[in-house]
Amino acid sequence: MQKLLRLVVISVCLSFSTAASAWTCMEDPENFKLDHCRAPRAFRRAVRRRPELSMRRHKAAQVEMGRLDEARAVNRRVNRSMIYTPEAVDDWLSGSDCDDYARQKLLDLLDRDFPRGALRLAMGRTPEGVYHLVLLVDAADGQTLVLDNRNDHALPIEHSNVTFLLWQSPGTDLWQRAEAKPLDFGGVWAASTGTR
Higher pLDDT, 180 or 112: 112
* 35 vs 167: CA distance, rounded Å: 11
The pairing of strands 131-138 and 119-125 is: antiparallel
Of 134, 144, 127, which Cα lies nearest the Cα of 191? 144
171 torsion bin: left (phi>0), alpha (psi -120 to 50), beta (else): left
pLDDT in tens, 19-60: 334 434 555 656 556 677 788 788 888 889 888 888 999 999
Distances (CA, A) of 121 to 13, 63, 100: 30, 15, 11
| Bigger pLDDT: 1 vs 4 | 1
Residue type, 89: V
- Is there a contact between 178 and 126 (Cβ–Cβ < 8 Å)? no
- Pick 2-177's CATH classification: 2.60.120, 1.10.287, 3.10.620, 3.40.50: 3.10.620
pLDDT for res 116: 95
Higher pLDDT: 132 or 16? It is: 132
Domain-wise residue ranges, the chain: 2-177
pLDDT tens sequence across 149-166? 999 999 999 999 999 988
- Name which of 157, 163, 148, 140 is nearest 72 in CA terms: 148
Tally of CB atoms within 10 A around 45: 15
Q: Which residues pair with 175 in a beta bridge?
A: 37, 168
pTM: 0.77
Say what the pLDDT of residue 26 is: 55
pLDDT of residue 67: 96
Task: With beta carbons less than 8 A apart as the criterion, state whether 135 and 92 touch.
Answer: no
Q: Which of 32-41, 57-66, 82-91 has the lowest mean pLDDT?
A: 32-41
Beta sheet of 119-125, edge-to-edge order: 36-38, 174-177, 163-168, 119-125, 131-138, 144-148, 151-156
Average pLDDT, the chain: 78
Look at 22 and 12; give whichever has higher pLDDT: 22
pLDDT category of residue 64 using cuts at 50, 70 and 90: very high
